[in-house]
Structure 1
Amino acid sequence: MEDLFRPLYQERTSQLNTLGVLVVEKNEQNKAFTENFDSILLIIVKEVEGAVFTKHYVDQNNETASMYIVADQQLKEWLLLGTNRKVIEWLYHGRIIFDRNEFVHNLKTEIREFPFYGRKIKMTIEFAKLIKRYADGKAFFNDAHYLDAYNHVLHSLHHLARLAIIENGYYPELTVWNQVRHIEPEIYKLYEELLTSDEDLQKRLELLFLASDFLIHSRTEKGAGHLLFLMKQKEWWSINDLLNHDEVAHYAVDLVTLIEYLLERKLVRSVSIQTKGHGIFHRYYQVCKEI
């Protein structure tokens, strides 16, 4: 397979647009890791037509390979948002066969050491998703839609697990529950009981809501830390200004639910500003001075 790859990546390493090339070999214990291909060739470039360019190959021995050409900006966005964890795993575990100016080495270091600011924004992204899923799960539960509630609560536990992993200074892997079992066994136990308990679904959900409230509430200041830090930079914010802020854009889809939750937790307060209409006020938001 190496002989098949060589002409593919050698052609590209001579191009200044190419920043790095990695090879990922099939894992016999987990063939899905390489999408059932024998090998993955990951090529990182400055620019590519579209976010990702993909080609599939097979050699005379019927060994298969998949080549991915990814723009570095797209890769960095995935690293921040965690929206394509498989490619991030390839980057982390892949063998470097070309590295211009240590670009790939520095990316691997960033994943391993997880710089503080990267953790801060990533925690708020996960926390915002967690609050949205959890709130929707409770609403469905209160309306006796237990299967829909179960679906949302299960997703909220995934976000809680990822939040705990990031909080402890690690990058969430594909095998999140294997990680969290060692880092935060209390969260793993909640997940296990939701899936395997002999109680009926309604009772399982009731117990989970009771047990997980504290785990979520105790993480609020850290989980929402990026938003709270940003909001302290101005006396008050309109919801539109927050939604259109470059960094908040990463979790804007869940922002309104997050703001309402922070109001409830008294970490943010609303400020009423008179409009031109009598008796109608603009609603602005500011961080409570106590925090």
Structure 2
Amino acid sequence: MEDILRPIYQERASQVNTLGVLIVEKREKSVPFTDTFDAILLIVVKDSEHPVYIKHYSYQNKKAAMHIVTEAQLNEWLLVGSNRKVVEWIYLGRVLFDRNEFLHNLRAELDEFPFKGRKLKMGLEFAKLIRRYMDGKAFFNNNQYLDAFNHIVHSLHHLGRLALIENGFHPEVSVWKQVKQIEPEIYQLYYELVNSDEDLEKRLKLLFLASDFLIHSRTEMGIDHLIDILKMKESWSFNEIASHPELNLYSVDLEVLFEYLVEKHFIEVVTVETKGIGILHRNYKAAEKFMSKKQ
């Protein structure tokens, strides 16, 4: 397979802009590791007009895909977790070209999982968890149990990913296999939700109770990144928060997360007078227990 694809990647490897090339070959048919392709060529470049460029090839009744991605795009995927397969590609792919040990160093950094990057990833995962959990609870309270089930399954998925990151692991595509080994309590919740013979309403009711405890016990850890930023100022308008270069990565989950944290007294509301009578600006600050621990 490599021999057939060699002319394609060698052309790219000869370019000064190319940082590394690796090949990923299809493994188990049941695992969506290569998006149904027999091989993936991942080519990382320093700069490009397009952050991602994908081309498909056919050969000997097989198919391959070439993904050319910029270093900046790759780093964003690794930070935000929006392309989970790429972590496995980097870990398990066979290196064909490596300029100045770029891929070697990238793998070493993934293994080390620096704590600063871990804190941000935990924050993003916690925000997604709260969004799904709150939406699921709202559907449950309106007796819309199938919609509640959908959201709570997703919230458990984010809870499992959060626990893995907390323990220094990058969540893989087959995340429940990892969670079962590392956080069996969360795996058991997921298993009971999906496989229990109890009626759906009772399953959901018990699961919300258990989830309340698990979420509460991880809240301070999950919002550590957010609190570090909030402590930089006495108070923030929501627009200032949403415009922060790191907090804007939280995207649409940020408002729901803030309302949850206000309700649970992790964040305090600061009201500021406006020109209008009887209406106040609503600003935010870290709760006093965090402000007393300023860095």
- Give the shorter-chain TM-score range: over 0.9
CA contact (8 A) 1:46 1:72 kept: yes
Structure 1 stretches (4+) deviating beyond 6 angstroms? Answer: none
2:39 aligns with 39
What is the CA-CA distance between 1:51 and the residue it aligns to?
Answer: 2.7
What is the CA-CA distance between 1:267 and the residue it aligns to?
Answer: 1.4
Q: Distance in 1 between matches of 2:21 and 2:153?
A: 37
1:1-291 mapped onto 2 (5 Å cutoff):
1-28=1-28, 30=30, 32-59=32-59, 61-291=60-290
Letter in 2 for 1:238: S
* Higher deviation after alignment, 259-268 or 208-217: 259-268
Identical amino acids, percent of aligned pairs: 61
CA contact (8 A) 1:48 1:69 kept: no
What is the CA-CA distance between 1:71 and the residue it aligns to?
Answer: 1.3
What is the CA-CA distance between 1:31 and the residue it aligns to?
Answer: 5.6
TM-score, normalisation: structure 1 = 0.96
Q: Distance in 1 between matches of 2:135 and 2:58?
A: 46
What is the CA-CA distance between 1:64 and the residue it aligns to?
Answer: 2.7
Which whole-Å deviations, capped at 9, do the CAs of 1:203-232 have from their partners, x for residues lacking one?
110010011110000101110111111000
SS of the residue 1:36 aligns to: coil
CA contact (8 A) 1:180 1:187 kept: yes
Q: Distance in 1 between matches of 2:31 and 2:230?
A: 45
What is the CA-CA distance between 1:58 and the residue it aligns to?
Answer: 2.6
CA RMSD of aligned residues (A): 1.3
What is the CA-CA distance between 1:252 and the residue it aligns to?
Answer: 2.8
Q: Distance in 2 between matches of 1:25 and 1:34?
A: 7
What is the CA-CA distance between 1:282 and the residue it aligns to?
Answer: 1.1
What is the CA-CA distance between 1:46 and the residue it aligns to?
Answer: 1.7
Q: Distance in 1 between matches of 2:32 and 2:209?
A: 36
Tell me how many residue pairs correspond in the alignment: 290
Letter in 2 for 1:224: I
Letter in 2 for 1:128: A
2:293 aligns with none
SS of the residue 2:233 aligns to: coil
Which whole-Å deviations, capped at 9, do the CAs of 1:113-151 have from their partners, x for residues lacking one?
211011000001000010011001000000001011000
Aligned in 2, Cα 1:277/1:159: closer, same or farther, shift over 3 Å?
same
Letter in 2 for 1:226: H
SS of the residue 1:285 aligns to: strand
Aligned in 2, Cα 1:236/1:177: closer, same or farther, shift over 3 Å?
same
CA contact (8 A) 1:22 1:97 kept: yes
Letter in 2 for 1:283: R
Letter in 1 for 2:249: H
SS of the residue 1:34 aligns to: coil
CA contact (8 A) 1:134 1:153 kept: yes
What is the CA-CA distance between 1:264 and the residue it aligns to?
Answer: 1.5
Q: Distance in 2 between matches of 1:258 and 1:36?
A: 36
Q: Distance in 1 between matches of 2:109 and 2:170?
A: 10
SS of the residue 2:265 aligns to: coil
Q: Distance in 1 between matches of 2:229 and 2:237?
A: 13
Q: Distance in 2 between matches of 1:49 and 1:283?
A: 41
Q: Distance in 2 between matches of 1:130 and 1:200?
A: 24
Which whole-Å deviations, capped at 9, do the CAs of 1:2-47 have from their partners, x for residues lacking one?
1112111111111111110001122145463122322211111122
Q: Structure 1 stretches of 5 or more lacking a match?
A: none
Letter in 1 for 2:175: V
SS of the residue 1:177 aligns to: helix
TM-score, normalisation: structure 2 = 0.95
CA contact (8 A) 1:24 1:90 kept: yes
